[in-house]
């Protein structure tokens, strides 16, 4: 670390600031599958940064596109003005989505995408004369970013407990994680579709469908530790939403752009929601960007309800559709397409599955689950010290040149979709060594 670098002023996000500043870990470079540390070590990226560099790091095509855009036009106002890039990206995203999910609103992060989606859902019901539909249904262990909307529908206790009042009318479905029934499942677990029925039997029964605006879930919960939807679960949610005219929102901030083996989770799980939120992989993380895709009927209802020539939705961000972000997105979508990366994730998935499930024999492993190029490895928490075992494993992996991610005592692997079989072996091999060592502690 440079001697003149002071770490004190920066209040780091979701980080143990004091421990980090006592023993910092700094990256200073990145290329393809690797980071470079400040002391010149290469670290294999097993997590695509924070689930976002799906095409690998510093890809030349994306770098060039952003450079060129920065030289040509740095910024264009997005309100009552436009620039071609945002229209092109919206069209391309609409073409990647199934059904009539064909209008796209831009923002700058997953948290903003979630807020935007919730607001669009309320606006949609209101313009149809159903403004009484203002209850949102999230799910326990859901993660929808850190805005007040997102933490309200989210189900991560630590992310909520400090912050007092949130959106006032929210209920939560039960999460689907059950080790007794589903431990060591490969792909979608068999047990748990019936948990979707709670939407009808408990939540709709309590609030009445006529008061509920939307149900928001991650098709596969990422941050809570890779919780893969049970077979048939998402279809049941869709059926119940249809029956009671509730909008179904899929938060695809993590599952978007190939993570589960197809462009989006909607395709992998063959269930079409009404609204999809996305971010992260949309620009391969080169420039922050988020987006919300909605079905045609939602756009039409809101837009056509306003008098002609007036603003239809009072919502937007200074940087909605920022030119650098749209340039990065266009080049990123090119890379995904040219290198067939979503199909590559699908084709590599069985090899990845075999590799990660071999960790079953390691000490303290109580579950392994996977789909596409994502896996969760759950450890038995150390008595009285939750999270410690997984975090120590993270530190050992980092020392050995591999980046993993932990949440509680769950290890998540979500490598860039360009990973080779040899690198999968390296990632899992190093993690295995680290688990063996942590097992002795
Ligand atoms: N929705 C989902 C499903 C997410 O996973 C967000 C919204 C919020 O996105 P922004 O861009 O506002 O952070 C996320 C973010 C992790 C991890 O390791 C996950 C996220 C972010 C950082 C770390 O689990 N997900």
The per-residue pLDDT for 286 is 98
405 lines ligand 1 (CB under 6 A): yes
Whose Cα sits closest to atom 23 in ligand 1? 50
Q: Which of 222, 276, 277 to mutate to test the pocket of ligand 1 (most atoms within 8 A of CB)?
A: 222
Ligand 1 binding pocket mutation candidate from 253, 280, 394 (most atoms within 8 A of CB): 253
Residue 248 has pLDDT above 90, yes or no: yes
What's the pLDDT score for residue 1?
77
Number of residues in the chain: 441
Note the pLDDT of residue 41: 98
- Residue ranges and CATH numbers for the domains of the chain are 17-55+339-440 (3.90.1150.10), 64-338 (3.40.640.10)
Average pLDDT, the chain: 97
- Which residues, 6 or more positions from 392, have their beta carbon under 8 angstroms from its beta carbon? 438, 441
Centre of ligand 1 from the C-alpha of residue 375, in Å: 16
Contact 351, 424 (CB under 8 A): yes
Q: What is the distance between the terminal CA atoms of the chain, rounded to a whole angstrom?
A: 29
Question: What is this structure's pTM?
Answer: 0.98
Mutate which of 12, 46, 50 for ligand 1? The one with the most ligand atoms within 8 Å of its CB, which is: 50
Say what percent of the chain tops pLDDT 70. Answer: 100
* 355-407 pLDDT tens trace: 999 999 999 999 999 999 999 999 999 999 999 999 999 999 999 999 999 99
The response to whether residue 138 sits with its C-beta less than 6 Å from ligand 1 reads: no
Q: How confident is the model at residue 441 (pLDDT cuts 50, 70, 90)?
A: confident
Q: Is the pLDDT of residue 418 over 90?
A: yes
The atom number, within ligand 1, closest to the CA of 407 reads 24
Q: What is the pLDDT of residue 2?
A: 76
Q: 351-362, pLDDT tens digit by residue?
A: 999 999 999 999
CB of residue 218 inside a 6 A radius of ligand 1: yes
């Amino acid at each position: 670390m440079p001697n003149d670098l002071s770490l004190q002023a920066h209040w780091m996000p979701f980080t143990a600031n004091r421990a980090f500043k006592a023993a910092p870990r700094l990256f200073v470079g990145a290329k393809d599958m690797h980071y470079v540390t400040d002391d010149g070590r290469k670290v294999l990226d097993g997590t695509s940064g924070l689930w976002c560099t799906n095409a690998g790091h510093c890809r030349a095509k994306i770098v060039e596109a952003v450079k060129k855009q920065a030289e040509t036009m740095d910024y264009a106002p997005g309100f009552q003005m436009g620039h071609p890039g945002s229209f092109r990206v919206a069209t391309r995203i609409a073409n990647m989505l199934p059904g009539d999910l064909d209008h796209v609103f831009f923002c700058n992060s997953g948290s903003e995408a979630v807020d935007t989606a919730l607001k669009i859902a309320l606006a949609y019901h209101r313009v149809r004369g159903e403004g009484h539909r203002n209850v949102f249904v999230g799910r326990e262990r859901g993660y929808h970013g850190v805005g007040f909307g997102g933490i309200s529908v989210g189900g991560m206790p630590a992310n909520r407990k400090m912050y007092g009042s949130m959106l006032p009318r929210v209920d939560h479905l039960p999460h689907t994680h059950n080790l007794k029934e589903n431990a060591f499942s490969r792909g979608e677990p068999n047990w748990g579709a019936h948990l979707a029925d709670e939407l009808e039997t408990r939540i709709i029964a309590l609030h009445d469908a006529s008061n509920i605006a939307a149900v928001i879930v991650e098709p596969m919960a990422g941050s809570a530790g890779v919780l893969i939807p049970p077979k048939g679960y998402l279809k049941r949610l869709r059926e119940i939403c249809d029956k009671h005219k509730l909008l179904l929102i899929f938060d695809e901030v993590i599952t978007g752009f190939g993570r589960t083996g197809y462009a989006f989770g909607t395709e992998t799980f063959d269930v079409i929601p009404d609204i999809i939120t996305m971010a992260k992989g949309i620009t391969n993380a080169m420039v922050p960007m988020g987006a919300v895709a909605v079905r045609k009927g939602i756009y039409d209802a809101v837009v056509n309800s306003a008098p002609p020539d007036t603003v239809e939705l009072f919502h937007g961000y200074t940087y909605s559709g920022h030119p650098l972000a749209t340039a990065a997105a266009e080049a990123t979508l090119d890379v995904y397409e040219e290198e067939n990366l979503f199909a590559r994730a699908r084709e590599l998935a069985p090899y990845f599955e075999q590799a990660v499930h071999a960790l079953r024999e390691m000490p303290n492993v109580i579950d392994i689950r996977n789909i596409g190029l994502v896996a969760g490895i759950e450890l038995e928490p150390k008595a009285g010290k939750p999270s410690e075992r997984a975090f120590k494993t993270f530190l050992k992996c980092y020392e050995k040149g591999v980046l993993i991610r932990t949440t509680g005592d769950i290890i998540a692997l979500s490598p860039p979709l360009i990973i080779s079989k040899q690198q999968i072996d390296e990632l899992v091999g190093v993690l295995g060594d680290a688990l063996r060592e942590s097992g002795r502690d």
